[in-house]
Amino acid sequence: METALIEWLRRRVPAHAQLPLGIGDDAAVVESLDAGRTVVSTDMLMDGVDFRLTEADPRRVGHKCLAVNLSDLAAMASRPTAAFVSLALPRKGGRALAEGLFEGILPLAEDFDVAVAGGDTNSWNGPLVASVTVLGSVGQNGPLMRRGARSGDRVLVTGSFGGSILGRHLDVRPRVREALRLADRYPLHAGIDVSDGLACDLDHLCTESGCGAIVDLANIPIHPDAERLAAMRADGHPPLDHALGDGEDFELVLTVPPDVARSMLTEQPIDVPLTDIGEIVAQPGLRARDTDGRVRRLEPTGYQHEFG
Amino acid sequence: METALIEWLRRRVPAHAQLPLGIGDDAAVVESLDAGRTVVSTDMLMDGVDFRLTEADPRRVGHKCLAVNLSDLAAMASRPTAAFVSLALPRKGGRALAEGLFEGILPLAEDFDVAVAGGDTNSWNGPLVASVTVLGSVGQNGPLMRRGARSGDRVLVTGSFGGSILGRHLDVRPRVREALRLADRYPLHAGIDVSDGLACDLDHLCTESGCGAIVDLANIPIHPDAERLAAMRADGHPPLDHALGDGEDFELVLTVPPDVARSMLTEQPIDVPLTDIGEIVAQPGLRARDTDGRVRRLEPTGYQHEFG
């Protein structure tokens, strides 16, 4: 703990109804919106892996560290209430870096009415590590889980995919409001957010649900960044490969019964487009339907932390 | 996320009544013991700062990472319910290290009936960073806060102090049961656990309460490790200096009205000794009463993370 930084935070962090004690005790006390259950997400981000401080403004990094957690709560159709921010700061320039990170965290927290409720600030000789934990309330129709998909469900996605490394992986727009609105209006079966990669995360959802999926490749919404990245790299990977495997799009993948899917696609009830990209089937594993109608195995590409 | 490690954890982590969904979704759902308020503590520990993997078994490191959070909840007289463990693992040997850490975390969690509810596992080229977040219930007479001390209160401590670097800083015994028992039986005014250092943490408590304290130096319970460390170092710092400033004792500092203090000292209702080390006074700051009765300013020695 560095006293001066804690004092700065106390002045800078707004009071919040969910935070009766404010910050600065041994632990925080968070008022729940609904009794009984708390939804908790936690993500650790590291300099050189999830961002590069040599290239990105600390405010964008701070924004990402909170946003990826909010995205996890969106995937559960949960309403975030409080965030905890722990930092391992490089000794040199650590104070200014911490302030920069919080200048990215606090506006996003305010935007989603999330109380910045505590954390732990440390310094060391290593690179920046930021670990954020977010609490949320389950909500009326929550929690939405990965395990709820059923054979025959349609697979819908928000937004478009690929090429997030060009900048969108930092400027994450967590689909919290979209998820709450959809869970409020429609009987969603299962959900996940795309962090590792569209194919990889759909595969996670299928594995948890004990089923598989057939993806219509022609229907994958490809982000312009995926086109740009494919053109820049010119390594033979078309934009579709980037859409399926790049990850960090932080869009939602949802499964719903076919009639519900039809309503959602017609009504388009959120600001970002909903697209039908395929169906849930009983046979485990991912398959892809090509434009010529042929079905083949689809590799669940995406990011995995490798260690031995 | 590394799939094989998640699978290992799913097999290894016991089911828990507070954890209706188990682990492995985008976020965890935790059943609260009491409705309305959740107590949350979070601590980040780094290799080379809070432990050295070159010297300490990963199980002891894992134990410490959870124990320091449980100690924070003890300081709030709160009952821990669920823990979240996020790791930045070195790529080489990361899987074995993660398993070792959890082999230290899981027995401690079981001992305190805490559900290991989720987390985030990453790999990188840096040293190990572990960030643990613990949720708890406020309890009947909680939360106990730093800000409740009043002039005239006696200052009581559990256990003894100093020299934790010789090993006790790893083998932390969080005073959770002791705190719950004391809060159940006595009207405690304020509390903090000793992580930065006895003098430093008492100073934190006083600052939050808007008062000061006079410490009776002759009454500070000095741990045998403080004697050993003073003898080893032979740098002119007596054992008392170590007791006041070393930190990481993870004992409790409590303030109570004088009549309550008398009952507590007579009854000694917990397994670890309670000792009266001084009094809370209106005048801000820490002072020390020497054995000859003279009162002088006491430096709030202890650990601070330094960065510029």
pLDDT of residue A26: 80
Contact B307 A24 (CB under 8 A): no
Contact A72 B27 (CB under 8 A): yes
- Say if B143 is an interface residue toward chain A (CB within 8 Å): yes
B1, pLDDT greater than 60: no
Contact B307 A93 (CB under 8 A): yes
List all residues 6 or more positions away from B32 whose beta carbon is below 8 Å from its beta carbon. Answer: A32, A35, A36, A37, A38, B38, B81, B137
- Say if B262 is an interface residue toward chain A (CB within 8 Å): no
- Each residue of A179-238: pLDDT tens digit? 999 999 999 999 999 999 999 999 999 999 999 999 999 999 999 999 999 999 989 999
Measure CB to CB from residue A78 to each of B2, B27, B121 and give the nearest one: B27
In whole angstroms, what is the distance from residue A147 CA to residue A207 CA?
8
- Say if A230 is an interface residue toward chain B (CB within 8 Å): no
- Say if A124 is an interface residue toward chain B (CB within 8 Å): yes
Choose between A32 and B74: higher pLDDT: B74
Long-range contacts of the stretch B208-211 (C-beta < 8 A, 24+): B208/A24, B208/A25, B208/B145, B208/B146, B208/B147, B209/B146, B209/B147, B209/B148, B209/B149, B209/B150, B209/B255, B209/B280, B210/B147, B210/B284, B211/B149, B211/B150, B211/B151, B211/B280, B211/B281, B211/B282, B211/B283, B211/B284
- Say if A78 is an interface residue toward chain B (CB within 8 Å): yes
pTM: 0.93
- Each residue of B31-71: pLDDT tens digit? 776 667 889 999 999 999 999 999 999 999 999 999 999 99
**The pair of three-digit structure tokens given for residue A134, joined into one six-digit string:** 């977010």
For residue B92, the tally of other CB atoms under 10 A from its CB is: 12
**The pair of three-digit structure tokens given for residue B299, joined into one six-digit string:** 């430096």
Looking at beta carbons, which residues of chain A come within 8 Å of B30?
Answer: 37-40
Identity of residue A276: D
Confidence of residue B234 (pLDDT cuts 50, 70, 90): confident
Contact B118 A21 (CB under 8 A): no
Mapped onto helix, strand or coil, the DSSP state of residue B31 is strand
**The pair of three-digit structure tokens given for residue B19, joined into one six-digit string:** 């954890």
- Say if A51 is an interface residue toward chain B (CB within 8 Å): no
Contact A1 B193 (CB under 8 A): no
Nearest to A245 by CA among A283, A205, A171, A194: A194
Task: Give the residue from chain B lying closest to A307, CA to CA.
Answer: B91
Q: In what order do the strands lie in the sheet with A295-297?
A: A190-193, A252-256, A154-158, A274-281, A212-216, A285-289, A295-297
ipTM reported for the complex, 2 dp: 0.92
Give me the phi and psi of A295, to 5 degrees please. Answer: -110, 130
Q: How far apart are the first and last CA of chain A?
A: 33
In whole angstroms, what is the distance from residue A65 CA to residue A85 CA?
9
- Percent above pLDDT 70 for chain A: 97
B154 sits in which H/E element? strand B154-158
In whole angstroms, what is the distance from residue B93 CA to residue B57 CA?
14
Q: Which of B2, B3, B8, B26 to mutate to test the interface with A (most CBs of A within 10 A)?
A: B26
Q: Cβ distance A131 to A40 under 8 Å? A: no
Burial B1-19 (b: 16+ CB within 10 A, else e): bbeebeeebeeebeebebb
- Each residue of A281-305: pLDDT tens digit? 999 999 999 988 899 999 998 776 6
For residue B255, list its beta bridge partners.
B155, B190
Looking at beta carbons, which residues of chain B come within 8 Å of A121?
Answer: 305
**The pair of three-digit structure tokens given for residue A214, joined into one six-digit string:** 């057939």
In whole angstroms, what is the distance from residue B12 CA to residue A129 CA?
27
3-state per-residue secondary structure call for chain A: CCHHHHHHHHHHCCCCCCCCCCCCCCCEEEECCCCCEEEEEEEEEEECCCECCCCCCHHHHHHHHHHHHHHHHHHCCCEEEEEEEEEEEECCCHHHHHHHHHHHHHHHHHHCCCEEEEEEEEEECCCCEEEEEEEEECCCCCCCCHHHCCCCCEEEEECCECCHHHCCCCCCCCCHHHHHHHHHHCCCCEEEECCCCHHHHHHHHHHHHCCEEEEEHHHCCECHHHHHHHHHHCCCCCHHHHHHHCCCCCCEEEEECHHHHHHHHHHCCCCCCEEEEEEEECCCEEEEECCCCCEEECCCCCCCCCCC
- Each residue of A85-140: pLDDT tens digit? 999 999 999 999 999 999 999 999 999 999 998 899 999 999 999 999 999 988 77
In whole angstroms, what is the distance from residue B72 CA to residue B79 CA?
11
- Each residue of B264-274: pLDDT tens digit? 999 999 999 99
For residue A278, list its beta bridge partners.
A155, A215
Contact B308 A2 (CB under 8 A): no
Q: Which of B42, B200, B252 to mutate to test the interface with A (most CBs of A within 10 A)?
A: B42
Task: Give the residue from chain A lying closest to B86, CA to CA.
Answer: A44
Task: Give the residue from chain B lying closest to A39, CA to CA.
Answer: B29
**The pair of three-digit structure tokens given for residue B259, joined into one six-digit string:** 């009549």
Measure CB to CB from residue B95 to each of A25, A118, A308 and give the nearest one: A308
- Say if B52 is an interface residue toward chain A (CB within 8 Å): no
Q: Cβ distance A197 to A88 under 8 Å? A: no
Contact B86 A124 (CB under 8 A): no
Identity of residue B34: D
A-to-B residue pairs, Cβ atoms closer than 8 angstroms: 248
DSSP codes joined into one string, B83-139? EEEEEEEESTTHHHHHHHHHHHHHHHHHHTT-EEEEEEEEEESS--EEEEEEEEE--
**The pair of three-digit structure tokens given for residue A56, joined into one six-digit string:** 């990105």
Q: Is A266 exposed, middle or buried (0-12, 13-18, 19+ CB in 10 A)?
A: exposed
**The pair of three-digit structure tokens given for residue B307, joined into one six-digit string:** 């960065």
Contact B129 A127 (CB under 8 A): no
Q: How many whole angstroms from its chain centre is CA A48?
A: 19
In whole angstroms, what is the distance from residue A127 CA to residue A107 CA?
25
A30, pLDDT greater than 60: yes
Given the DSSP bridges, would you call strands A28-31 and B37-46 parallel, antiparallel or unpaired? Answer: antiparallel
Looking at beta carbons, which residues of chain A come within 8 Å of B120?
Answer: 42-44, 131
For residue A238, the tally of other CB atoms under 10 A from its CB is: 12
- Say if A14 is an interface residue toward chain B (CB within 8 Å): no
- Say if B95 is an interface residue toward chain A (CB within 8 Å): yes
A307, pLDDT greater than 70: no
Identity of residue B307: F
- Mean pLDDT, rounded, of chain A: 92
Tokens 């009830």 locate to A269
Q: Is B119 exposed, middle or buried (0-12, 13-18, 19+ CB in 10 A)?
A: buried
* Lowest-pLDDT range of A125-134, B22-31, B230-239: B22-31
Contact A308 B129 (CB under 8 A): no
Measure CB to CB from residue B124 to each of A49, A75, A123 and give the nearest one: A49
- Say if B117 is an interface residue toward chain A (CB within 8 Å): yes
Q: Which of B23, B40, B189, B194 to mutate to test the interface with A (most CBs of A within 10 A)?
A: B40
List all residues 6 or more positions away from B90 whose beta carbon is below 8 Å from its beta carbon. Answer: A307, B97, B123, B124, B125, B126, B127, B128
CA distance B124 to chain A (A): 7
A9, pLDDT greater than 90: no
For residue A188, the tally of other CB atoms under 10 A from its CB is: 25
For residue A133, list its beta bridge partners.
A42, A84
Contact A306 B122 (CB under 8 A): no
DSSP category for residue B5? H
